[in-house]
Amino acid sequence: MGFTAFGLSILAKQGGAIDSESVLPMVLNQVLPVGIKGLVLAGLLAAFMSTFDSALNVAASFIVNDLVKPVWKNATSKDLMRISYAATLGVVILGILISLRTDRIAEIWNPINFALGAALLAPGIMASYWWRISGWAVCISCACTLPMALIVYFYTDLRELQYFPVLAAVSFSTCLLATFLCPATPDEALAMAEAGVDNIIVHFGNSSGGSTGSQTVMADDSAISRAAGICDALAAKHGGLIVTCHGGSIETPADFAGFLAAEPRLDGYVGGSSAERFPIEASVPKAAEGFKSVRLPGRG
C-alpha cells in the first residue's frame, strides 16, 4: 500500500502519461534511502531468480513427461535427463530471443493471460455444473482457442478487451462440441484399465448435501446408467478390477445402499464429504447445543 501511495503521488506530480512498468523503479529511486534501496533490490532479484528457475524446471518437466515419454517409451533415466537439460537450455534461448523483440512486459504478459484465460474459461465454468465436461473438452478448447489467439494477435489491431469475447466464444463452442464428440466415459475407463490401475472410480460429479453441497447434481438414473456402462465395458477383459463410485446425490450409507441395489457390481464407495463433512456438520452443532443446555448451578 505504501509503494502504491508513493507511486500515485509521483504520477500526479508528473502530470503526463507514464509507462506503468516504470512506476516501481521511480518509487524505489526517489523514496528509499541508500542501503534500504539495495536490500529491496536484492529481495526483488531473489524473488525473480526463484520464479525463473521454477518456471524452467516446470517447462522441462512438461516437455519430458508430456511430449517425450509418450513417444520414446524405452528411454532410460539418463536419456530423459539429457533431454531435460536440452529443454531447459532451449527454453532459456527462446526467452532471450523473444525479449530482444519486446519493449514492454505487457506486450507478452497481457496476450498470454487473455489467451489462456479465454481458453480455460468455458471448461472451467462448465465443469463446475456439468459432470460431462472431461479432459478432452479442455484440451480441444485450448487447441482451438490458442491458435485463434495467435491469429488475432498477429493479424488484427484489436486490443485485449476487444478480442477476449471472441476467444471466449470460441472456447465455449469448441468445449461444448468436444463434450459430445469425444469418447464417452466407458472408453476412458478402458484406457485407465489398460494403463494398469487397480481401482476405477465412477465419478458422478459434484456432491449434494450439507451446508455447502451442490444444488445441481447428476440424476440418480443417469448416475446408475453411467456406472452400469463402465461395468459393462470392463466386464469382458478387466472383470477383476475394483469399481467404486463417488459424488452425486450419495449423502448417506442408505443412499449408497440404494445405488448398490440398482448396480450390484459396484465394489464400494469412495467417501469424501459424506464421510467427513456431513457427519461433522450434524454432530458438532448437536454437541454444542447439548453443552449450552446444561444449566449452571444458581444461575437459572
pLDDT, tens digit, 9 for 90 and up, residues 82-112: 999 999 999 889 888 888 877 777 777 888 8
Least confident of 25-34, 48-57, 233-242, 286-295: 25-34
CB proximity list for 258: less than 8 A, separation 6 or greater: 220
pLDDT in the model for residue 270: 86
Q: Please, which pLDDT band fits residue 5 given cuts at 50, 70 and 90?
A: low
* Helices 185-195 and 220-238, packing angle to 10 deg: 40
- Tell me the C-alpha distance between 138 and 34, whole Å: 51
Show the CA angle centred on residue 111, arms to residues 109 and 114, nearest 5°.
Answer: 105
pLDDT in the model for residue 282: 75
Looking at the chain, the whole-number percentage of residues with pLDDT higher than 90 is: 3
CB proximity list for 241: less than 8 A, separation 6 or greater: 193, 197, 198, 199, 200, 234
Sign of CA dihedral 137, 141, 144, 147: negative
CB proximity list for 218: less than 8 A, separation 6 or greater: 131, 204, 205, 226, 247, 248, 249
pLDDT in the model for residue 18: 61
Sign of CA dihedral 16, 19, 25, 27: positive
pTM: 0.48
pLDDT in the model for residue 210: 67
pLDDT in the model for residue 13: 64
pLDDT in the model for residue 184: 53
Q: Examine the pLDDT at 44 and tell me if it is beyond 80.
A: yes
Grid coordinates belonging to 4: 502504491
Q: Please, which pLDDT band fits residue 19 given cuts at 50, 70 and 90?
A: low
Q: Examine the pLDDT at 17 and tell me if it is beyond 60.
A: no
Least confident of 18-22, 39-43, 176-180: 18-22
Q: 183: which strand partners?
A: none
The model's pLDDT over 186-218, given as tens digits with 9 standing for 90+, comes to 777 888 888 888 888 888 877 777 666 677 778
Q: Please, which pLDDT band fits residue 223 given cuts at 50, 70 and 90?
A: confident
The model's pLDDT over 150-186, given as tens digits with 9 standing for 90+, comes to 888 888 888 878 888 888 888 888 888 877 765 556 7
Q: Which residue has the higher pLDDT, 265 or 1?
A: 265
pLDDT in the model for residue 21: 67
Name the strand (E) or helix (H) holding 116: helix 106-127
Strand, coil or helix: 147? helix
- Tell me the C-alpha distance between 217 and 274, whole Å: 15
Q: Please, which pLDDT band fits residue 7 given cuts at 50, 70 and 90?
A: low
The pLDDT mean for the chain works out to: 80
- Tell me the C-alpha distance between 196 and 189, whole Å: 11
CB proximity list for 133: less than 8 A, separation 6 or greater: 123, 126, 127, 175, 179
Grid coordinates belonging to 212: 455447502
